[in-house]
Amino acid sequence: MKLGLKLLQERAKVGSFWWPYISNLPETYSVPIFFPGEDIKNLQYAPLLHQVNKRCRFLLEFEQDVRHALQNLKPDDHPFGGQNVEASSLGWAMSAVSSRAFRLHGKKLPYGSHSDVPMILPLIDMCNHSFNPNSRIVQEQDAGILVKVVAETVIKQNESLVLNYGCLNNDLFLLDYGFVMPSNPYDNIELKYDSALLDAASMAAGVSSPNFSAPAPWQQKFLSQLNLDGEAPLLKVSLGGQELVEGRLLAALRVLLASDMETVHKHDLNTLKSLSAEAPLGIANEVAAFRTVIALCVIALGHFPTKLMDDESVLKEGVSGSTELAVQFRMQKKSVIIDVMRDLTRRVKLLSSKEAATVKF
């Protein structure tokens, strides 16, 4: 927020060197903290709603802190030229920084590393995002700080310069930049690792005798190693993205659906967490784990009050920009879930055919 406050200070300063740049910044941003209440609800995704509410609360609390710090200052000492600094202006500054600043190398630290410092780079910040960029930022520090954009490939006349903002999911793209990436290969959905939820999923999948609610001591030990049990466990797990099924969740399912402790102990934790390690505990175990995840996906889809067809119909009606973004966001989340289901269903069919072929042989 320090850079945001500096931006507000320069905006309030008469004759600021940065005024030509600041005057061309958007008056408002398409990030969810500026959405109408109805469109925040339209996101339909609890983890993002939590983040939006968290940022709004921060701005309201920070407004009080700033007001308290400024209340007894003399006019000449006022850093914002006597102007009130409200939550809306703080939100504008925070959004300007989150959507335009780049994290570059700052001061050199011991052992040769550098601190990361957010910097606003006029003109460079006009480059849009792409996962297949034609340019990249290069920072040189031999003579002060020199930052430039260099081409990664041949760029044709009138072709836009695009940079990779990072391998981010759509939560961060929308929260920080105000857009949604369609078919984002890094998008995922968050779930809470919950034994009751897994019990419900396994029952729906027709998986018999799971030990989710009452794991054996040796299984509980594995869960602790995965930080899904014990003191201060990290219960947030994800589906989609590069892993398809987060390794910790996959390993937990494989272990809890296994009955033979000795077979499990033959494999290290990394193998149990790996989707590319095909059926390390046997085909039946793998099929049961995948079917449980598919059932989790069905439950997750059921938490959305609208279906994809409903969302598509809304977009055809012609809606406000914030409504369009909210609907696009939830559509992408549903697509992530559906893609996971399709991939795992394909894997289940392949494993089942292998098992059938083995039985015949």
Burial class (CB in 10 A: 0-12, 13-18, 19+), 91: buried
pLDDT of residue 29: 94
Dihedral-angle region of residue 81 (phi above 0 means left; psi in -120 to 50 means alpha; beta otherwise): left
pLDDT of residue 72: 85
Q: Which of 124, 142, 177 is where one domain is finished?
A: 177
pLDDT of residue 273: 96
pLDDT of residue 83: 87
* Amino acid, single-letter form, for residue 230: G
Residue 280 contacts residue 267 (beta carbons within 8 Å): yes
Same-domain check for residues 158 and 57? yes
pLDDT of residue 359: 52
Same-domain check for residues 202 and 159? no
| Total structural domains within the chain | 2
In a domain, 54, yes or no: yes
Query: Collapsing DSSP states into helix, strand and coil, what is residue 196?
Result: helix
In a domain, 209, yes or no: yes
Same-domain check for residues 28 and 103? yes
Q: Which of 142, 177, 212 is where one domain is finished?
A: 177
Q: Which residues of the chain have pLDDT under 70?
A: 106-109, 111-114, 141-144, 209, 355-361
Burial class (CB in 10 A: 0-12, 13-18, 19+), 143: exposed
